[in-house]
Each structure stands twice: as C-alpha cells, then as structure tokens.
Amino acid sequence: MQDFLGLIFNFGVGFAVLVIVLAKQSIKFVPQNRAYVVERFGKYNKSMEAGLNWLIPFIDRVAYDRSLKEQAVDVPSQSAITRDNISLVVDGVLYLKVLDPYKASYGVDNYVYAVTQLAQTTMRSEIGKIELDKTFEEREALNTNIVAAINEAAGPWGVQVLRYEIKDIEPPRTVLEAMERQMKAEREKRAVILESEGERQSAINVAEGQKQAIVLAAEADKAQQILRAEGEAQAIVAVADAKAKALEVVGNVAIEEKGQKAIQLELAGKAIAAKEAIARESSVVLLSDEKTGAANVVAEAMTIINSLNKNKPGGVA
C-alpha cells in the first residue's frame, strides 16, 4: 500500500513538473516595441507582437527576436572621389527602423550590415556627382538623396531609413591648405571692398553736405537780397511820399499871401547865407549889383511863384 501511494505521489510530482515546463514553453510575454518571429517545424508560422502570446510546445519556436525601436547605426569612414577628382574621407550615421519583422528576418541575412553597406556605396555615388565645394554647401541635399536611395533598395528587407547624417568630411591636407588660403584671400577681398565702400559713402556724404550748404547759403543770400531790395524800395517810396506831401504842403501855403511872404523871407535868408559862405571860403570878394542883390533874388522867386499860381486852377491872379 505504501509503495502504491509513493508511486502515485511520484507520478503527481512528475506531472506537475511537466505541466510547469509545458506552460513555460507555451506562454510567451513579448516586451513593448519588440516582435518575435515564430517557426513551426522550421517554417515561418507567425509574428508575435507585444503582450501575452501562446506557442505549441516542442512544435513552435521563436526563431528571431526583432526590435521595433529606431536604431542608430554608425557608418564607418570610407574614401570617396568628387566630380573634380578630389579624394575625401567621409563617415556618417544611419537612423533606421524595422517595419516588417518577417522581411527583416527572411529577406536579408543581416539587415544592419546590408543597410550599412548600401549607405556606403550610395554615399560614394552621390559624392561623385558633385564637386568639392558643393560637398560642404549641399550636405543636407546629400543626406536626403542617400536616404531616398537606401529606402528604395531596402524595401524588400522590411527596413526603413529615417535619417542619414554625414558626421565628417575630411579632404586631403593639400586641399585644406588651398581652401584656407582661398578663404583668407576672400576675407581680405571683402575687407578691402567694405573699406572702399565706406570711403565712397563718406565722400558722398561730404559732397552732399557741401552741396546742401552751398544751396542753403545761396538761398539765404537770395532772401537777403530780396529783403534788402524790398527795404530800399519801401524807403524810396516813403521818401517820395514824404517829399510829395512836403511839396503839397508848401504849394498849399504858397498860394496864400502869408506863405508867399514867408517864402520871400526864407529865400532872402538863404541867399544872404550863401553869399556869406562864399565870402568866408574865397579870397575874392564879389560885389553885388542889381541882378545879384537879395532883393532881385527875392523878386525872381516871387515871379516864379506868381507864375505857378496863374497856371494853377483857382490861383491868385
């Protein structure tokens, strides 16, 4: 009886161990962003995605474990020749991602190696299409062209290249020295051009300032002459008006008898004063006669006044 119970116990323990082993073989937990490629009897069966998955023990097996994350792959340095026959050493980095685990497992033996080799050959081909100067200026275009060429060829592999970046472009030492001399000459040329442009602009500014100063001075002189002429004209008009008014007043007074006597007295005084001045300044003494006497001078003046009064309408006869 005890032997029978021991046999049953051993059978139960063995069965439990078998169940645990079978459960472990049949249950698979796939991590996030990974894919398991399952084969059944050596032939592709299915691709298991993240989460809980089931297998048939001893029949199904996980043949490939593929990461679905974006991967950065270093592209080794290599030599490439430009269109103008300059040898360059170029290296870069690839950013790729597995889109189809089945194709990545059965479409190519090692997709990372295959894509890296394809990137190197494509990079040599693209650099051979352009000249040395363009390799530095059109690096972004180079990256885009390389990515497009790789994706076109890597489609059957279930892999997509997201980006390709050229890390370094190293030309020969002699070319570097020539480029440094060229850049130095270019900088000196720009400095000379900027200096000459500055001198030219300065001369233009000085000439413009002198021109404006001359124009302003001419305008000021013109305005001054106009003001002076207007002032002189106004002064002449004012003097003429004053003389006209004075003559008008004298004429009005001369019509009356009192005015005529006052004029006679004024003329007589001026005649006497003039003779005195002549006598003081000259050593020759002039004797008066009938024609040059004060009375005659006054008589002549009165004759002129009477003549004017006769000619004036309403004058004294």
Percent of the chain scored above 70 by pLDDT? 71
Note whether 96 and 115 are within 8 A (CB): yes
Per the model's pLDDT, the better-predicted residue between 317 and 213 turns out to be 213
Structure confidence at residue 317 (pLDDT): 42
pLDDT digits over 170-187, tens only?
Answer: 887 877 777 778 788 888
Residues 163 and 112: their CA atoms lie apart, in Å, by 14
Round the average pLDDT of the chain to a whole number and report it: 79
Q: Is the confidence at residue 282, as pLDDT, over 60?
A: no
Per-residue pLDDT tens over the stretch 263-280: 666 666 666 666 666 666
For 90-119, what is the mean pLDDT?
A: 90
Banded model confidence at residue 63, pLDDT cuts 50, 70, 90: confident
DSSP 1: -
Mean pLDDT of 219-243: 85
pLDDT over 90 (residue 95): yes
Cβ atoms of residues 105 and 67 within 8 Å: no
pLDDT of residue 93: 92
How far CA 166 is from CA of 142, 149, 283, in Å, comes to 8, 15, 123
Which of 7-16, 102-111, 147-156 comes out lowest in average pLDDT?
Answer: 7-16
In degrees, to the nearest 5, what angle opens at C-alpha 213 toward C-alphas 209 and 219?
145
Average pLDDT over residues 199-208: 88
Q: According to the per-residue pLDDT averaged within each range, which of 20-24, 48-52, 100-104, 167-171 is highest?
A: 100-104
Question: In this predicted structure, which of 150-154, 296-300, 313-317 has the lowest mean pLDDT?
Answer: 313-317
The conformation of residue 286, written as its DSSP 8-state character, comes to P
pTM for the full model?
A: 0.51
Is pLDDT above 60 for 315?
A: no
Q: How high is the pLDDT of residue 113? A: 92
> Across residues 65-89, what is the average pLDDT?
88
CA 307 to chain centre: 92
The answer to whether residues 75 and 119 touch, using CB atoms and an 8 Å cutoff, is: yes
Q: Which of 27-41, 46-60, 293-307 has the lowest mean pLDDT?
A: 293-307
Which regions of the chain carry the CATH code 3.30.479.30?
A: 71-171
Query: Which residues share a beta bridge with 98?
Result: 159
What's the pLDDT score for residue 1? 61
Question: pLDDT at residue 225 above 60?
Answer: yes
In this prediction, residues 57-64 reach a mean pLDDT of 84
Reply yes or no on whether the pLDDT at 316 is more than 50.
Answer: no
The token pair at 39 is 């084969």
Pick the CATH number of 71-171 from 3.40.50.2300, 3.30.479.30, 3.30.450.80, 1.25.40.10: 3.30.479.30
Stretch 34-57: mean pLDDT: 86
- What per-residue confidence (pLDDT) applies to 222? 87
Please give the Cα distance from 269 to 123 (Å, whole number): 127
The rounded distance, in Å, linking the Cα atoms of 198 and 183 is 22
Flag the least confident range among 32-41, 253-262, 298-307: 298-307
Pick the more confident residue, 283 or 68: 68
